[in-house]
Amino acid sequence: MSRANLDKDPDEVAAMFDGVAKRYDLLNDLLSLGRTKAWRKVTTATIAPKPGMKILDLAAGTGSSSAPLAAAGADVIPSDFSEGMLAAGRLRHPNLPFTKADALNLPFEAESFDVVTISFGLRNTTDVDKALGEALRVTKKGGRLVIAEFSSPTFRPFRTIYTNYLMRALPVIARRTSSNPDAYVYLAESIRAWPDQGALADRVTKAGWSQVAWENLTGGVVAVHRAIKA
């Protein structure tokens, strides 16, 4: 697997997620210091799902982000480009219409969704700007984008501690608990290489979205960005 701050090979990334699909939720708990469920609740509240709302959940993985949207009555399509993730998701949530989809070339018509959301997956696309553009294309006018992603802690001492945890403690834990520790190392690197809150907001704006804003969670370990298609 290439280092996260270099060009990503989509086949390599897909294969990596295929390999960790069965334990992906555990992986997220390690990366999140156990805060994944709390972050997902905030993301769901930001989306504000309701009956009749059409939502595309990109990089949905095993469906952890999609299930609460469906529970609220929304018409949600969980999508992913990893066959392993889709298979794991179908086993856990057989009621959800898991669909294979590449975020860079979505198989949906223009202006199909009220909301497009992606949780902890945008940084793993090979072309972030193209993914943001594709999300814009399939969103209805007046529709929304909601991105939950690891970000940059705002308190410098904590940022240093967290970064050291990602690059030092996490690989050690991975070697003891996973058959694919390289995936943990890759994901830790991808977080370090990811733009901070303001830089990502600029990219969302340049992709054509309006009224871009964000909310920091856990001191900026994660940020939930939101935007509107004018």
CB 50 within 8 A of CB 74: yes
Q: What is the pLDDT of residue 177?
A: 64
User: Mind listing the pLDDT tens digit for each residue in 121-138?
Assistant: 999 898 999 999 999 999
Residues 6+ apart with CB under 8 A from 159: 152, 153, 220
> In the chain, which stretches have pLDDT less than 50?
1-6
CB 93 within 8 A of CB 128: no
Distance CA 82, CA 85 (A): 5
Q: Where are the domains of the chain?
A: 10-228
Q: What is the pLDDT of residue 106?
A: 98
Q: What is the pLDDT of residue 21?
A: 54
Domain spanning 10-228: CATH 3.40.50.920: no
Distance CA 128, CA 111 (A): 20
Could you tell me the sign of the dihedral formed by the alpha carbons of 41, 45, 46, 50, in that order?
positive
User: Mind listing the pLDDT tens digit for each residue in 45-84?
Assistant: 999 999 999 999 999 989 999 999 999 999 999 999 988 8
